[in-house]
């Protein structure tokens, strides 16, 4: 684990995104809310929020961070389910891992809930698209 004692406490935010690609039949079932396992979007949203708070338990060298806010957006799009996590804190280290964990676990939840309908669904494009705070300042991914 990196020693962050000397770093200043600053407001930090990270945004991560991802996509669960699904068949057109699953997209239709998601829009119609007819997936047999229930409300996929609500469950995935809660899973992402819960995962944010458990990041140090899942990523061995991640610092425990007091998460001050999480917005987990889960939206049906033409080719599947778009995921976006925005995580905010005031700490000595950033929350990129928390945002990525939120997106990854929300994506796993979607796959779990639709796998009976689409065994080929897949999680793609999980990445940090923006961050702010800390010594390195603000950063926005050029292609995202």
Three-state DSSP state, 80: strand
User: 110 phi and psi, to 5 degrees?
Assistant: -60, -50
CA dist 115 and 104 (Å) reads 16
What residues act catalytically? Answer: 112
- Best CA proximity match to 43, nearest among 15, 19, 11, 74: 74
């Amino acid at each position: 684990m990196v020693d962050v004692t000397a770093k200043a406490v600053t407001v930090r935010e990270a945004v991560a995104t991802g996509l669960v690609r699904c068949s057109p039949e699953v997209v239709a079932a998601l829009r119609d809310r007819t997936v047999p396992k229930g409300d996929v979007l609500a469950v995935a949203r809660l899973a992402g929020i819960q995962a944010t708070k458990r990041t140090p338990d899942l990523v061995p060298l991640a610092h425990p961070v007091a998460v001050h806010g999480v917005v987990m957006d889960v939206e049906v799009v033409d080719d599947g389910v778009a995921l976006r996590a925005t995580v905010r804190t005031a700490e000595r280290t950033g929350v990129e891992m928390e945002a990525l964990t939120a997106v990854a676990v929300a994506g796993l939840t979607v796959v779990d809930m639709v796998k009976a309908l689409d065994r080929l669904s897949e999680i793609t494009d999980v990445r940090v698209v923006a961050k702010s705070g800390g010594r390195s300042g603000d950063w926005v991914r050029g292609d995202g």
